[in-house]
């Protein structure tokens, strides 16, 4: 195990003064573990197009274009695993989880293509923020058996690299800003907002609060106007971002 190397990287990552230096230290660490390919993505949607959201990375020539051309994103077991777990996972475990999946044949074709490009196995480390999935560190190459302790430390590496990179680019503070909501909500409006954020429909909220559907819709419209939101989904997003609901 190279646990000392991971701990040393975590200490150095805090001290680096440039993006190039951070990337160099990260690639040096990954090389010691045998991970020849990696990618750090920054986004909020699991099934979003990853092509333009990779902050840093090193992948086989032509692989990302091939992946996009074959439309593998819709059946990729790694992406689908990200939709159901918040923990780090190994590629082969994600593949096994979809062993009875109707898209298994296409998934196996994806794996064969990946292996031909040197992507035999790897690990995915999801990075979560207050609004959900914030980023992903994907490590790959030959099969590498990480211990539970190493997986835990690499999980820390993923978060450290993302935030340190954003700090060096001067964008971290924008993500950490709190959203000011100038309008005050009444107690009843807060009740409606909390139930709406829990995924309840107008009819379900009406039953829970013992009021009419029409009254619920009126409350939601008032809240939407106070938040200057475009629709109900925007209201929920702003409520979470402002900390009014958790």
Domains of the chain: 3-175 (3.30.450.80), 187-242 (1.10.10.10)
Return the ∠ at Cα 130 (arms to 124 and 131), rounded to 5°: 80
Look at residue 242 and tell me whether its pLDDT is greater than 90.
Answer: no
Look at residue 47 and tell me whether its pLDDT is greater than 50.
Answer: no
CA atoms of 188 and 200, how far apart (whole Å): 15
Share of the chain above pLDDT 70, in %: 91
Higher pLDDT, 101 or 8: 8
Contacts of residue 38, defined as CB under 8 A and 6 or more positions apart, other chains included, come to: 26, 27, 30, 57, 58, 137, 138, 139, 140
Task: Encode pLDDT of 197-230 as tens digits.
Answer: 989 999 999 999 999 999 999 999 999 988 888 8
Give the residue-averaged pLDDT of 153-174.
92
- The pLDDT value given to residue 246: 66
- The pLDDT value given to residue 74: 85
Distances from the Cα of 236 to the Cαs of 40, 157, 179, in angstroms?
28, 31, 13
Look at residue 192 and tell me whether its pLDDT is greater than 80.
Answer: yes
Helix, strand, or coil here: 55? Answer: strand
Write down the mean pLDDT value for the chain.
87
Look at residue 1 and tell me whether its pLDDT is greater than 70.
Answer: no
C-alpha neighbours within 13 Å on the C-beta side of residue 160: 21
Task: Encode pLDDT of 92-133 as tens digits.
Answer: 998 888 777 888 888 889 989 999 999 999 999 999 876 577
Distances from the Cα of 21 to the Cαs of 13, 16, 32, 55, 189, in angstroms?
9, 6, 17, 15, 50
Q: Which residue pairs, CB below 8 angstroms and at least 24 apart, start in 111-118? A: 113/66, 113/70, 114/63, 114/140, 117/60, 117/62, 117/63, 117/66, 118/36, 118/37, 118/60
């Amino acid at each position: 195990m190279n646990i000392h190397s991971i701990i040393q990287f975590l200490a150095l990552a805090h001290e680096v003064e440039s993006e190039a230096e951070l990337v160099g230290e990260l690639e040096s660490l990954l090389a010691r573990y045998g991970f020849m390919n990696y990618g750090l993505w920054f986004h909020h949607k699991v099934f979003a197009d990853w092509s333009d959201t990779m902050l840093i990375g090193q992948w086989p020539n032509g692989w990302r274009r091939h992946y996009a051309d074959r439309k593998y994103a819709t059946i990729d077991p790694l992406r689908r695993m990200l939709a159901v777990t918040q923990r780090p996972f190994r590629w082969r475990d994600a593949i096994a989880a979809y062993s009875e999946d109707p898209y298994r044949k296409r998934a196996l074709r994806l794996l064969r293509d990946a292996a031909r490009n040197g992507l035999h196995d790897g690990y995915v480390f999801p990075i979560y923020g207050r609004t959900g999935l914030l980023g992903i560190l994907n490590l790959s190459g030959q099969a590498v058996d990480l211990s539970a302790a190493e997986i835990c430390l690499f999980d820390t590496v993923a978060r450290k690299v993302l935030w340190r990179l954003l700090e060096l680019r001067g964008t971290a503070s924008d993500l950490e800003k709190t959203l000011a909501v100038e309008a005050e909500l009444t107690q009843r409006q807060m009740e409606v907002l909390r139930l709406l954020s829990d995924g309840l429909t107008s009819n379900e909220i009406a039953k829970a609060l013992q009021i009419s559907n029409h009254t619920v819709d009126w409350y939601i419209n008032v809240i939407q106007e106070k938040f200057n939101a475009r629709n109900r989904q925007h209201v929920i997003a702003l409520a979470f971002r402002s900390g009014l609901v958790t």
